[in-house]
Amino acid sequence: MRYYIKMNDDIIIWLERLSALHKSQIRKSAAIEGVQLVHLEILQYLSICNKYSNTAQGISEYLGQTKSSISQSLKFIEKVGHIKREPNSNDKRSYQIFLTKDGKECIKRMNESSTPDLSEVGDIVGNIKTILYKWQEQNDLKGFGQCKSCYFNKILEKGGFQCGLTQEPLSETDIQQICREYKFK
Ligand code: SF4
């Protein structure tokens, strides 16, 4: 029991540091780009999420912020030309949000200046996924995992991929993106 508590304390210390460092790097990039931290977090999310997740609701769930505060941020980054909205082809009551060319360039600059080179660290993705799975499951939160490892992702015999939830085909690009409907295997 004591060991369990100690291990959890250690995990919290390292997760806190990782999270604080990530935030401070994004904050630095946001200052350079002349936007707020949350604006850059939204752009970053839009650069990696799939077509079922690029909505105000998806952003709100991902960042853990209210829809009204996300809505204010969306208005700002739309005004400065980083995003555009289009009616949602699956749900006419909402719209999908896409990065513009300016938005993509902004994220590219941020990634180049703030992402560490982890090529020699080995396979750390599996452990990070396990922590995320436990954390989200215990708090009943949406998955937001990478499509290629989703429970619903089917590899078709004739080649290609299909979403077992929506039955829609998935491209090589789609399966690299994250999804709010993601389910751990
Ligand atoms: S397979 Fe899973 S992650 Fe991929 S689109 Fe379907 S629900 Fe989303």
The pLDDT value given to residue 149: 93
How much is the pTM? 0.84
Note whether residue 27 is domain-resident: yes
pLDDT beneath 70, residues of the chain:
1-7
Query: How deeply is 60 buried, as exposed, middle or buried, from its count of CB atoms within 10 A (0-12, 13-18, 19+)?
Result: middle
Q: State the residue range of the domain holding 41.
A: 2-116
Note whether residue 151 is domain-resident: no
Note whether residue 103 is domain-resident: yes
CATH of the domain at 96: 1.10.10.10
Ligand 1 in reach of 152 Cβ (< 6 A): yes
| Probe target for ligand 1 pocket from 153, 166, 175, with the most ligand atoms within 8 Å of CB | 153
Measured distance CA(122)–CA(5) in Å, rounded = 27
3-state secondary structure at position 146 = strand
Note whether residue 57 is domain-resident: yes
Q: What is the three-state SS of 83-99?
A: EEEEECCCCCCCEEEEE
User: What's the structural domain count of the chain?
Assistant: 1
Note whether residue 34 is domain-resident: yes
